[in-house]
Chains A and B, each alone.
Chain A
Amino acid sequence: MREITYVKAFTESLMQLMAEDENVLVIGEDVAHYGGVFHAFDGLLKTYGEKRVIDTPISEMGFIGMGVGAAARGLRPVCDLMFFDFIGVALDQLYNQAAKLKFMFGGDVSVPLTLTTAGGAGLSAGPQHSQSLEAWLAHVPGLKVALPSSPYDVKGLMVASVRDDNPTVVVLNKRMLGTKGPVPEEIYEIPLGQANVLRPGRDATVIAVGRMVPEAVTAAEELAKDGTEVEVIDVRTVQPLDSATILASIRRTNRALVVHEAVTFGGIGAEIAAQIQEEAFDYLDAPVRRLGAPFAPVPFSPVLERAYIPDAARIASGVRGLLERTGS
């Protein structure tokens, strides 16, 4: 299969979705003439014109609100929030309006809005342009939250999100935009709420989110050299969360490590760890281990930032800790 980059898989998904459904339109800062700050929207204006690819002023509250209204009236808008960190100024539109309208109107209104944004650290973009805030949104009933971990997943999760009749947030990872991988040319969907088992294993399960997925696979390959077989699960969406796949795996491996880029405290890993102990307590051979960022803003300094984000080496060492037999 041909290989394309993460960001090109994103552009291609929009190209095909807009061809498939004329109600799909793109709204955001610099998405039309500039093609987006990460060139994720390159070529859309030329193909679909100014009515369907709309540049907006710098007002996230304004243009996401416009998206909510357009969605409630039957369009299928894709609103782009340049950085995940900016969600604060527009949060009401998302969690109080988009997520609630269906419930407020007794199911008579749906909001097929997709919010795309770029999150994650690793580019020395500083504490206000590097955060991973998915746990905030996963806490709100009515929102779905996807974190693609490969070019293949970007396209499949984008297609599922735009076709979904409910508000969905797709968080791209900035560090992965240039990552290449196999992507089918035709349009395809990855169901929201279905985790991906990337590697089977019997000794421990690593549950990873977003960019931590390829790191977990690297760690598993490293551990396999010593004969430790680690199962790697990509949650793909943190809301809905595919608990069944995670629990079935823990019941086989008896050990779990959850890893994400977000701050450990109150992160989605806390939810996953809690579910594991509630549903599979009798199958645990070690406490569930969480790996995430320390409780501090993302550092500007590249050296500190590297120390801040988990990586393959720390995942491998975490798994070794789970399997430890030190004796008394």
Chain B
Amino acid sequence: MAVEVLIPKLGLTMEYGLIEEWLVAPGTPVKPGDPLLRLATDKVDVEVEAEGSGLFHPAVESGAELPPGALIGWLLEVGEAPPGVAAGQAPPAAAPATTTETATATAAAAPANARHNGRLFSSPNARRVARERGIDITQLTGTGPGGRIITADVLDAAQQAAPAARPGATSPLVRRDATAAGVDLAAVTGTGPGGKVLRADIAAAARPAASAPASAPASTAQVIPLTGMRGVIATRMHASLQEMAQLTLGTEATMDAAVALRAQLKEQWQNAPTITDLVVRAAALALREHPRLNASVRENAIHVQPEINVGLAVALEEGLMVPVLKRADQLPLSAMAAETRRLAQAARTGKLTLPELEGGTFTVSTLGSFGIDFFTPVITPGQVAILGVGRLRDSVRWEGATPQRTQVLTLSITFDHRAVDGAPAAEYLRSVASRLTNPLTLLA
């Protein structure tokens, strides 16, 4: 019995999902929990896992954008055919249209295939190479023992096909790039194996047109499309700076007691808090006293939020994610430390769920581990402030005329001047700093 693969609904507001990439090849056996595809929504990139087992058979190509519940493939039993072609798009056509001489020639030769009771004999390596080069093996003539198709036959076909850019031999990703860049695929010379058109070829073809009006730079630039997570970051950060009146204040927090407390907790707790955890705890408690920084500006009004939900910016190899600590002011320090660790780990492994990314009312961003002392963070849209955390570093404190070694870190607060003025923002920042200076209040 075929198991249907559907676009999952990942959040209440999700209206469509973009199949960024199929993670398994057609015909691959999968079991529950195996990642099947990468799906992008307007909020999040997720891996969708198989819910049943069987041989995977896609119904649509990657690049398709469909609403939740749409049928995108099946998990079939061995020997089972996909139940009709009910999905929006038919699977890729078996043979390329006879528009080129090569295609006509191979089609004419097709009946010579060694078929034995309907089975086409071909070597496993020939099938692998054909798959990798996008060659339809059913169109080949075998020259191995008994007419078996062997690797050499596939390579011969690849060489013959090289001059013509066959649309059947390009990957869906390449076709999507071509459409997006307005490039005519047929006019592109492929540099891949067997003349296959690669993404780089599309980028190269798109470049002269884009830079034509200005004096074209001699060197070739790398093109990174603003899609997926990159696209989300670009849109949101630009919107933030465009909508809000942002400015940043900074101050130093003395950390000697906090560092000592952390060292003590490290010996006693399994999930000892990090310095960042202490800062997040201090920030959440201080928000209780300064609720105007835990707000949202919309429809010409400041909406003070009923809950304190703190987002934590986590840097990833390709961008960043902001998982949210719900009711952060009500989480005891130990529970918070465990939760931040779990969320950061989930962010790095791409396992965050949409609810874990929604509902933030304030954000903490740290660049201390990158050696940064001070920076001006950009407010998450829908919020009015963000706290930046710098590097823990050695400094000097004066006791009378005597210099004392001390550890400090710099805190910065970017706030939306439409909602908050300089003085209350400074008071908030001082409140956070003083909680870190006297960290026993964080244990309460």
Binding site for B on A (CB under 8 A): 254, 281-286, 324-328
Contact = CB atoms under 8 A, between A and B. Distances in A.
B368 interface: no
Q: What secondary structure prevails in chain B residues at the interface with A?
A: helix
Contact of A325 (B112, B114, B127, B152): B152
| 8 closest residue pairs by CB, A with B | A328-B147, A285-B125, A282-B128, A285-B123, A325-B143, A254-B125, A285-B151, A327-B143
Contacts of A281: 124
Report which residue of A281, A284, A286, A328 has the largest number of chain B beta carbons within 10 angstroms of its beta carbon: A328
Contact of A286 (B112, B114, B128, B150): B150
B144 interface: yes
Given A285-B150, A326-B145, 18 more contacts: A254-B151, A281-B124, A282-B125, A282-B127, A283-B124, A283-B125, A283-B128, A284-B123, A284-B124, A285-B125, A285-B144, A286-B145, A325-B143, A326-B143, A326-B146, A327-B142, A328-B143, A328-B147
B123 A328 contact: no
B145 A324 contact: yes
Contact of A282 (B112, B124, B150, B152): B124
Contacts of B123: 254, 284-286
Nearest to B147: A328
A328 B144 CA distance: 7
B36 to A, nearest CB: 21
B126 interface: yes
A285 B112 contact: no
A280 to B, nearest CB: 9
Contact of B144 (A282, A283, A324): A324
Contacts of B124: 281-285
Contacts of B147: 327-328
Contacts of A324: 144-145
14 contacts: A254-B125, A281-B124, A282-B127, A283-B124, A284-B124, A285-B123, A285-B124, A285-B126, A285-B144, A286-B145, A328-B112, A328-B114, A328-B141, A328-B143
A177 B81 CA distance: 62
Interface of B: 112, 114, 123-128, 141-147, 150-152
A281 B114 CA distance: 21
A328 B142 contact: yes
Contact of A284 (B125, B141, B143): B125
A328 B125 contact: no
A195 B143 CA distance: 34
B120 to A, nearest CB: 12
Tell me what chain A mostly uses at the interface: helix, strand, loop, or mixed. Answer: loop
A254 B112 CA distance: 25
Contacts of A283: 124-125, 128
A26 to B, nearest CB: 50
B143 to A, nearest CB: 5
Nearest to B142: A328
Contacts of B126: 285
A324 B114 CA distance: 16
A43 B137 CA distance: 67
A55 to B, nearest CB: 56
Contacts of A327: 142-143, 147
Nearest to B121: A328
A328 B142 CA distance: 7
Contacts of B112: 328
B153 to A, nearest CB: 9
A100 B118 CA distance: 52
A284 to B, nearest CB: 5
Contacts of B146: 326, 328
Nearest to B144: A325
A289 to B, nearest CB: 12
A138 to B, nearest CB: 27
A324 B127 CA distance: 18
B250 to A, nearest CB: 57
A281 B127 CA distance: 11
A326 B144 contact: yes
A3 to B, nearest CB: 41
A203 to B, nearest CB: 11
A327 B124 CA distance: 17
B119 to A, nearest CB: 14
A321 B142 CA distance: 16
Nearest to A321: B145
A321 B143 CA distance: 13
A325 B128 contact: no
A324 to B, nearest CB: 5
A152 to B, nearest CB: 35
Nearest to B152: A325
Contacts of A286: 123, 144-145, 150
A245 B151 CA distance: 22
Contacts of A325: 143-144, 150, 152
Contacts of B152: 325
B303 to A, nearest CB: 59
A286 B124 CA distance: 8
B125 to A, nearest CB: 4
A213 B152 CA distance: 29
Contacts of B150: 285-286, 325
Nearest to B115: A328
A286 B127 CA distance: 12
Contacts of B141: 328
A281 B128 CA distance: 10
Nearest to A254: B125
A286 B153 CA distance: 13
B28 to A, nearest CB: 12
Nearest to B128: A282
Contacts of A282: 124-125, 127-128
A285 B143 CA distance: 12
A284 B126 CA distance: 8
Interface centre among B114, B141, B150 (most CB of A within 10 A): B150
Nearest to B153: A325
B273 to A, nearest CB: 44
A283 B147 CA distance: 19
A90 B26 CA distance: 55
A225 B142 CA distance: 27
A254 B151 CA distance: 9
A123 to B, nearest CB: 37
A137 B325 CA distance: 62
B141 to A, nearest CB: 8
B126 to A, nearest CB: 6
Contacts of A254: 123, 125, 151
Nearest to A277: B124
Contacts of A328: 112, 114, 141-143, 146-147
Nearest to A255: B125
A324 B125 CA distance: 15
